[in-house]
Structure 1
Amino acid sequence: MVITSLSSAIVFADEGGVSYWLPGRFGSLAATPQVPGWSMAEVYYHTSVSAFGNAAAAREIHVGRIPATVNVDLNLRLNAQADLVLLNPTYTFATPVLGGQLAIGVTGLFGRSSANLDGTLTAAIGPLVTTRTGSFGDSITSVGDLYPQATLKWNAGVHNFMTYVTGDIPTGAYDSRRLANLGIGHAAIDAGGGYTYFNPQAGHEFSAVAGFTYNFKNQDTQYQNGIDFHLDWGASQFLSKQLFVGLVGYAYQQVTDDFGAHPILGGFRSRVFSVGPQIGFLFPVGDLQGFLSLKGYGEFAAENRPAGWNTWLTFSISPMMPTSTVIPTRRVATK
């Protein structure tokens, strides 16, 4: 069953208040081993966000290429949304690696992103002062970056553990002069680990996955995002062997300063938290297993990044479970 590992880059990065890491990428059952073989997950992702203050000002500074020598006073509001389709083929190996189960995959995306800025900008160079009031925006429909990923998972009864490594290959639609993009314009690497408690008999489940992102410099803007920390979690109760309900959430905190930001932005460390509901349903598709889930997040306590809400509708196909249980209860073979 593939329900845990999808990512994308929408309108933002730490540069301009947007990260490579898309919070909510991992969820319930994240660390549980899967059935060996090919699987495919498709996700429709929608997000709607807004921002005031520095998070909006950063986009004006970035797109307008306002130099550090210019004193600026910005009173702006940013609104943005994206509708994306993500495809995530994954292959899970049957042969153990370091006593665990290895899986590799890649995520690609296609969709539409739009953004607009409204407000007032006042710029001054010495005695010369210029004020601009109004709005501007743009949109793009294209493909995004590619996101390869490898995971290694271990099972010990109701306890499951994982480690992962992923990153960004900047092949998507990106232009540093645009307000809306589907790529981030730079490479990134992300790694971390996770844990899942899953008791099939009682139907109780809890998962948490944490990691750090290192961002490489954007050569178009000479801007480099700081190191980011993120935590995704999910808790669910199985009402039957096919249906579960629960909660999901995430915490995101940038832990080091950006390099190349305008002086008025300072270190521009981003932060956001979120929580929301989820529901999932498993069903047979011929000799394969289908999975359909819906989860939603409402964001709060955001700093230096836009915030709002987002939803994930996931449909996946994977090899059928060897038993009637939701997740295989056998241990992964050890060497």
Structure 2
Amino acid sequence: MRRWLLALMLMATTFPPPAVWAGGSGAYPNGADDFMAGVVPPPGTYLMLYSNYYSADRYKNNLGDNYEVGPLADLDISVWANVVRVVHVTDIRILGANWAVQTLIPALDMDFEFGAPFEALNDSHFGLGDIIVNPLLLAWHGKHFHWAAGLDTFLPTGSYDKYREPINPGNNVWTFEPAFGITYLNGPIDLSMKLMYDFSTTNDDYLDPRNGRTVDLVPGQEFHTDFAAGYSFAENWTVGVSGYFYQQTTDDEVDGVDVPDERGRVLALGPAIKYAHKNMSFTFKSLFETQVRNRPAGNSTWFRFIYAF
């Protein structure tokens, strides 16, 4: 019930879909990929562990300004996301590409705190997020260019309670995400980018903040990209700049009506460093958000470990 009261006090036409991942407005964890984003490794099985901490103390409106009144004028958001990702690359070739499959299992610890007089709205939650599967990931390799394409599917496995918006680890929708990654490798230079576009099904258990009714919510479509530019200054070390860009491209639809002026947007940039040793690698980066619209504005810190069996 407190989530419903919060939504009423926001006096918005709707509240954006919950940030399932740290730093995300939809399903995908913005900033997850960086160096060698278009490179799929040789046949084998790979374990990847991600740990991401996202924090924000500002919420931007449609003009990019901070809210001056209400709960969003004084808030602290923190999210810990820990993700297990398993990739298996087969020796089967399809259309000249290596065929791979993957799955990602996230767990999230979310905390929302509000300033006076809205402390009663404070809430926290730990739970399983929406599991991601991809049974058809294809990868091609050239002399300098490497690229990969696939379709990630986000399953509605995460915990969801309409009365706890927006602090839900799950979105209560299916999301289909065509993805294309490309990497240019030439000596010590690594230029990488991953392009994605998200389509989501209907959340039929959304609490409309305007009237407290349970209605259908169709999240808007989303374009987003992760990118990085790196330089290998030693045999095992790479340093560079990483970031992400996110833009909601269509309006959310609540109870059959489009919601105008609520499309999210964000650009993030920051330093990144990677160390590789034998069959392992470690990546650390910190990304700072700017050009934010209709979402929290903060920063995201990532650690990734990769182990090749």
TM range (shorter): 0.7 to 0.9
Structure 2: unaligned runs, 5 residues or longer: 1-16, 63-68, 207-215
Tell me if structure 2 keeps the 8 A contact 1:237–1:244.
Answer: yes
Confirm whether residue 95 of structure 1 aligns to residue 92 of structure 2: yes
Q: CA offset at residue 102 of structure 1?
A: 1.6
Q: Deviations over 1:244-281 (max 9, x none)?
A: 11110111111111101899962411100000011111
Paired residue type of 1:99: G
Secondary structure of the structure 1 residue equivalent to 2:205: coil
Paired residue type of 1:185: N
Secondary structure of the structure 2 residue equivalent to 1:306: strand
Tell me if structure 1 keeps the 8 A contact 2:266–2:292.
Answer: yes
Q: Which has the larger radius of gyration?
A: 1
Residue 168 (structure 1) aligns with: 154
Structure 1: unaligned runs, 5 residues or longer: 1-9, 56-72, 120-132, 320-335
Paired residue type of 1:25: A
CA distance in 2, matches of 1:75, 1:85: 28
Residue 257 (structure 1) aligns with: 251
Confirm whether residue 311 of structure 1 aligns to residue 301 of structure 2: yes
Residue 196 (structure 1) aligns with: 183
Residue 241 (structure 1) aligns with: 235
Q: CA offset at residue 224 of structure 1?
A: 1.2
Residue 138 (structure 1) aligns with: 123
**Percent sequence identity over matched residues?**
24
Q: 1:264 to 1:190 in 2, by over 3 A?
A: closer
Residue 183 (structure 1) aligns with: 170
Quick one: which of 287, 295, 306 aligns to 2:285?
295
Q: CA offset at residue 192 of structure 1?
A: 2.6
Paired residue type of 1:157: K
Paired residue type of 1:41: M
CA distance in 1, matches of 2:255, 2:181: 33
Q: CA offset at residue 54 of structure 1?
A: 4.5
Q: 1:98 to 1:305 in 2, by over 3 A?
A: same
CA distance in 2, matches of 1:32, 1:227: 26
Paired residue type of 2:53: H
Tell me if structure 1 keeps the 8 A contact 2:153–2:174.
Answer: yes
Instruction: Name the Cα RMSD after superposition.
Output: 2.4
Stretch moving more, 110-119 or 241-250: 110-119
Paired residue type of 2:307: I
CA distance in 2, matches of 1:74, 1:250: 29
Paired residue type of 2:197: F
CA distance in 2, matches of 1:192, 1:219: 27
Q: 1:270 to 1:262 in 2, by over 3 A?
A: farther
Residue 76 (structure 1) aligns with: 72
Quick one: which of 37, 40, 51 aligns to 1:44?
51
Q: Deviations over 1:10-64 (max 9, x none)?
A: 95269xx921122112211011231211110111111102333658xxxxxxxxx
Tell me if structure 2 keeps the 8 A contact 1:261–1:267.
Answer: no
Q: Deviations over 1:295-327 (max 9, x none)?
A: 1110001101112001111111114xxxxxxxx
Residue 145 (structure 2) aligns with: 159
Residue 13 (structure 2) aligns with: none
Q: 1:110 to 1:42 in 2, by over 3 A?
A: same
Q: Deviations over 1:200-226 (max 9, x none)?
A: xx2111001112100111111111111
Residue 275 (structure 1) aligns with: 269
Q: 1:264 to 1:205 in 2, by over 3 A?
A: closer
Tell me if structure 2 keeps the 8 A contact 1:116–1:137.
Answer: yes
Moved over 3 A (4+): 50-55, 261-265
Residue 204 (structure 2) aligns with: 219
Provide the TM-score with structure 1 as the length reference: 0.75
Secondary structure of the structure 2 residue equivalent to 1:177: helix
CA distance in 2, matches of 1:134, 1:111: 24
Secondary structure of the structure 2 residue equivalent to 1:220: strand
Q: 1:118 to 1:30 in 2, by over 3 A?
A: same
Provide the TM-score with structure 2 as the length reference: 0.81
